[in-house]
Structure 1
Amino acid sequence: MLLAVDVGNTNVVFALFEDRTIRARWRVATDPRRTADEYAVWLLQLMQIQGFARDAVRQIVISTVVPRALHNLQVLADKYFGLEALVAGQGLAEWGFVADVDEPRSLGADRALNVIAGHAAHPGQHLIIIDFGTATTFDWVDPQGTYKGGIIAPGINLSLDALVSAAAKLPRIAISVPRQGESVIGRNTEDQMHIGVFWGYVAMMEGLIARMRAEIGQPAKVIATGGLAVLFDRHTRIFDHVDPDLTLDGMALLAERAIAAAQNRTQE
């Protein structure tokens, strides 16, 4: 089995793959100070509870947008699984696509993995991939799988936190569909905040995608991923496909490529 470890700015997701199928997943808050031993106590207990043996893990791949978290996860792989972890974007796990932008090395690992998985699932098409995370990113992938650029916008939770922290009298609300449906005129402070956050975000997405499509100048399929993709999909028609596991699927593809590359080197 493959253990994929996806380190985001907010959470670390551990996913167990068997033949490209996710068998289990677990999530913990991102903390660069968390040691390998702390990860092991938490992870190995969860694996045992769900009936997965430690020695069933034959390969580990780590993707991180938090560089300080990498070392302890590599130690986890070595100390508790006896494996040398692949690091997404490095060595045998290089991205394998062209980033046609000014600073290719600045492309985040999560976005690169979305490019890989998106192009593999929808080859020969222009893609706009939206990823709802700490930031919301919009990425253009051309029919050859080349990354052509994109947009970084504040994530919806980040926007809400900024609003609440800067305005002392505003209450903290949850991200949800406004209770008055599609009406955009609220009758009280809390409803008005829900409208501004939710429908404002929908309008931002629809506007940016329309501008991207106009600039691309050809039909582009819109792929949405991340935790809030399903929520927004119910209230806008801009998504052609929703894949909550796109980033993890990219990690599984990258691990397969690394195995093939290692075998080729052995044969040579």
Structure 2
Amino acid sequence: MPIPRFHCAMPLPPGRRVALPDAVARHAVGVLRLRDGDDVILFNGDGSECLGQLIRTGKGAEVDLKATCAPARESPFAITLVQGVSSGERMDYTLQKAVELGVTRIQPIMMKRTIVRLDEDKRVKRRQHWQGVVIAACEQCGRNHLPEVDPILDFHEWLATASARDGVRLLLDPEASQRLRELPAPAGAVTLLAGPEGGFDPNEREMLRRLGFLPMSLGPRILRTETAAITAMAVIQGLWGDI
């Protein structure tokens, strides 16, 4: 059984004992049923991880920190996923699998054919939820850097800032003819844009092409929004990355 991993947003100095945050302690003790002396791994997002031993303290828990290491588990190039917001579990699934496939940054955007509608309060809460999905995915897959989930932007808000972004820009478009395997290997950053459940509005597609996004096909079948981005990332990592 793999050693359980927990994200703790605090310093993790080797040789010290630290108290686990309440939510982490509840998960370790109440859900996973860890016992005194069980090995755990803690990470705080700085790229390193620290092996330790659990000490139960009633309903809480502490960890005696031992050795620290910084394993290389990040993608060889930075991948930004610009994802048209989808509803409920679909968006969660996309973010979870994107983390497993090495995404660096996630920018959710509201597009003309986005089905779900979110007021400002719901946008803040949804972003917090998605950051939790990202943390849980990092705990599972072994990553020690946390991909950032940016605030949700409307399409035109995001477009106003997108011109400053560097790297290869790819638009996942079922109407495109070019395939990913026909591209040269990216030299650095990759920005990947996937539409919402309703697909792209023609005006949005045209504005993205003018901005330098290359329309890319993922084959003859139309993929769902929760599948398209992670399929593209898997192909990118398989062609030029670490898969």
What TM-score, normalized to structure 2? 0.30
Larger proportion of helix: 1
